[in-house]
Amino acid sequence: MKNVNFRLVGLDSKVIPNVLVDGEVISCKKNEFGSYEANIQTEKDEIEVAISRELELKSRLWWLYALISFIISVFGIFNPSYDRKCISIECLFNFKLSEENSAIKIKFNTLSSSGKAITVEGCDNYEEIKNEYTIDKTAKRRRITLLIIKILVWIGLAILIGWLISKQIG
């Protein structure tokens, strides 16, 4: 059985990717330095690692979730904001394991339109299939739509409160 020490470093606090190893989701634990670690045990000589980031605004029922969270968070006061850049990550690698104990360190790069999303360290024998950042235009439009709706609701609430106060006074 081969043991792989898998580490993700250089992550922004808002960017939490989904990590799949051979089609199974693995849970990474955050260590004291802010990076994420997982130990993978496998019998195979080669593993496929897929790293992605699915945006909430890209899902099918995004409007329902946005409405419920808007109401529960007291009209958006306690609701965390969405990522302004709407960055998606799509990476797919095949790693060939040679030793019983291997270490794979994945370092996330800063956003650039032409560069790679991830740099692999600690493993020389791998195949890069896909490695890119993309700016999701659909999610970006939906975020702007939600922002406009929030502003309109707040203006409507201010007008309603002003009308109720003037009704009580006069």
Which percentage of the chain shows pLDDT scores above 90?
Answer: 15
Task: Count the Cβ atoms, other than its own, within 10 Å of residue 142.
Answer: 21
Q: Cα separation of 19 and 25, whole Å?
A: 6
Smallest CA-to-CA distance from 139 within 90, 89, 85 is with 85
Distances (CA, A) of 5 to 23, 24, 40, 112, 122: 18, 16, 6, 28, 10
d(CA 136, CA 140): 6
Share of the chain above pLDDT 70, in %: 95
What is the rounded end-to-end Cα distance, in angstroms, of the chain? 81
Q: Is the pLDDT of residue 114 over 70?
A: no
Q: Read off φ and ψ for residue 71, nearest 5 degrees.
A: -70, -45
- Tell me how far CA of residue 76 lies from CA of 24, 66, 93, 114, 164, in angstroms: 35, 10, 39, 35, 22
Average pLDDT over residues 102-119: 79
- Give the integer Cα–Cα distance in Å for 158 and 64: 24
Taking residues 10-27, report their average pLDDT.
82
pTM here? 0.76
Say what the pLDDT of residue 56 is.
83
